[in-house]
Amino acid sequence: MHVLRIVLAICVLASTTLELASGEQAGRGDATSDIATLPYKLVEWPTPPTSAAGVPGAWNFIQVSSVAVTARGTILVLHRGAHPILEFDSKGTLLRSWGDGLFSEGKVAAIPQVHWTDDKSHYSAVYGPAGCTACGAHSVRVDPQGNIWVIDAPGHVVYKLNAEGKEIMRLGTKGSSGTGRNNFNLPTDVAFAPNGDLYVSDGYGSARVVKLSRDGKYILEWGTRGKGPGQFGLPHNVVVDAQGKVYVTDRDNQRIEVFDANGKFLNQWTDTGGVSGLFITKDQRIWTGGVLRNLDGKPVGRLSGPATAGAHGVAATESGDVYLAQLSGIVQKFVK
């Protein structure tokens, strides 16, 4: 029965590659068939819950938007439903959950193409009854000190939590959008520089990356709307390498752009398709969805299976296990 559930979930994933129920587009135009397959296998994860009848049940993840690995090696799953932050051990046993009331009920969605203009975002948010519980949950990251960061996109805020899940800092102004130094407009992700500086991709409503100090003070920003070097259609995820270079998924323009620490455009990778998830490994390689690349953008290999390239979030352990967050409502775990 467990194997059957995996097969059924994969079949569902294969049918949802262009536009998912959330209105978020992902994985468009990605051509990975010529990239070598990595020696990984898909395993069932997490452990199914036990029903009241004492038999295996099924997890009711609404949409899994992001995953992260904690300093102690546990796995954080961020989903858009009750108990939006769940922590599992590597075997898939649930350890705890929290976060009810933390995220807004706003729902990010694509604006119909008939209303598009070149100078404005193609995304907006709907609030109130048309939203849904914890729909704001967009990204979860763990910094080198073990703190947990979560992004509430339609809430326009980035939270820093300690390892126990208690809020210790907030970036942005909850419920107030903007493009000033103290506001974001539907932010999407956060990344950490070697010296502790922060980078926030500000994201669905804006078209910029904001750099802040480790204590949250504004330093600088870059980016305008467009398709040229240093411009963005949708800056969706961001990571920083050991040398301080910043990598940003420009999902709507189907590329990854590379910048120096102050936002100077260095390079772009144009063979990625509409990648959402980014994760940099300790040996300085980057998972771009289900494709592993070196820092020059050259593919090292890919995970085998449908929908891996279009994962909304990705994380990897030091031992090499890879977790993909799928908006279809599952987590995929790949082991070597």
Task: Return the domain boundaries, the chain.
Answer: 2-335
Note the pTM of the prediction, 2 decimals.
0.91
List, for residues 196-255, the tens digit of each pLDDT value: 999 999 999 999 999 999 999 999 999 999 999 999 999 999 999 999 999 999 999 999
Rounded distance, CA 66 to CA 277, Å? 8
List, for residues 146-193, the tens digit of each pLDDT value: 999 999 999 999 999 999 999 999 999 999 999 999 999 999 999 999
Strand partners, 323: 315, 333
pLDDT computed for residue 305 by the predictor: 80
Helix (H) or strand (E) holding 13: helix 2-14
Rounded distance, CA 149 to CA 159, Å? 6
Class of domain 2-335: mainly beta
| Encoded tokens for 78 | 């961020």
Examine the pLDDT at 5 and tell me if it is beyond 70. no
For 259, residues 6+ apart whose C-beta sits below 8 A from its C-beta are 209, 222, 230, 245, 246, 247, 248, 265, 266
Rounded distance, CA 128 to CA 292, Å? 39
pLDDT computed for residue 31 by the predictor: 58
Backbone angles phi, psi at 242, to 5 degrees: -65, -20
Examine the pLDDT at 297 and tell me if it is beyond 60. yes
Cα dist from 254 to 7, 38, 233, 257, whole Å: 29, 23, 9, 10
Residue 133 confidence class, pLDDT cut points 50, 70, 90: confident
Backbone angles phi, psi at 13, to 5 degrees: -60, -40
Quick one: 182 exposed, middle or buried, by C-beta within 10 A (0-12, 13-18, 19+)? exposed
* Arithmetic mean of pLDDT, 38-57: 94
* Arithmetic mean of pLDDT, 16-21: 37
Pairing verdict, β 187-192 and 198-202: antiparallel
- Three-state SS across 215-238? CCCEEEEECCECCCCCCECCEEEE
Cα dist from 248 to 70, 96, 111, 256, whole Å: 22, 32, 22, 5
- Three-state SS across 245-267? CEEEEEHHHCEEEEECCCCCEEE
